[in-house]
Amino acid sequence: MKESYENVNQTCHKRKYADQIIIALDVKDIKSAYKLVDTLKNIASFYKVGMELLAQPGALDLVKELKQQGHKVFLDAKLYDIGRTVEAAVANYAALEIDFLTIHAEYNTVKAAVKATHATQLKLLAVTVMTNMNDGDLRLMGIDNMTVEQLVKKRALQSYELGAHGIISSAQEANMIRNICGEKCIICTPGIRPKGFDSNDQKRVVTPQYAFQNGADYIVMGRAITQADNPQKVLTMILQDLNNTAT
């Protein structure tokens, strides 16, 4: 499945950035999520619902409402379990007609998840190495023979060849993934911070401009926007900066 892809697409002005920035609804409760969506409704069209909200009553109703409003939904469930359980969970999530679903880039997990996506529109994105991890963290996990980059490369290629539609990784590895997995592979990168914003608990962070220039198809942005006094203003400024960079 590997395709030749030597040159990363640098024509950023052709990208519809507003559709490629996924807003992470990592907020304290469902009410806050609805409020944020309403605030950004004229700009944002793609939202991530992660573990923080999934643990609250009404989370799946929020997902359904987002789809009814015409938005795209990225369900960041990071599934990792025995094959039968993963396959059943993916099938249930696919029934919600969500767009992206994350699974861990573990061989049996990916293989089982792929079975459940046949005849659906759901795109599976495999999580390689979390963006809050570095080489030292791998050592703590007992992985002594690989760097983060090497592990990302191995997991990305294996997951894509098993049938995952895309890869979640730091934008620092996006160009590498593009080269080994090809142009059709969806590359989605968290750990994005505009210049001047705190990296918080992330360790492999980049700016939105760098992420797109390095080959990302989508970027996930949370606190820089969601915790701002004026989220709409911050997102508008980010979009303006991206378009100015592309011209």
- Catalytic site residues? 78
CA–CA–CA angle 58, 166, 47 (5° rounding): 30
Angle between helices 174-181 and 148-162 (to 10 degrees): 40
Length of the chain: 247
User: Are 123 and 102 in contact, with CB atoms under 8 Å apart?
Assistant: no
Q: How far apart are CA 84 and CA 78, in angstroms?
A: 16
Task: For tokens 């970027």, name the residue.
Answer: 219
197: left (phi over 0), alpha (psi -120 to 50) or beta: beta
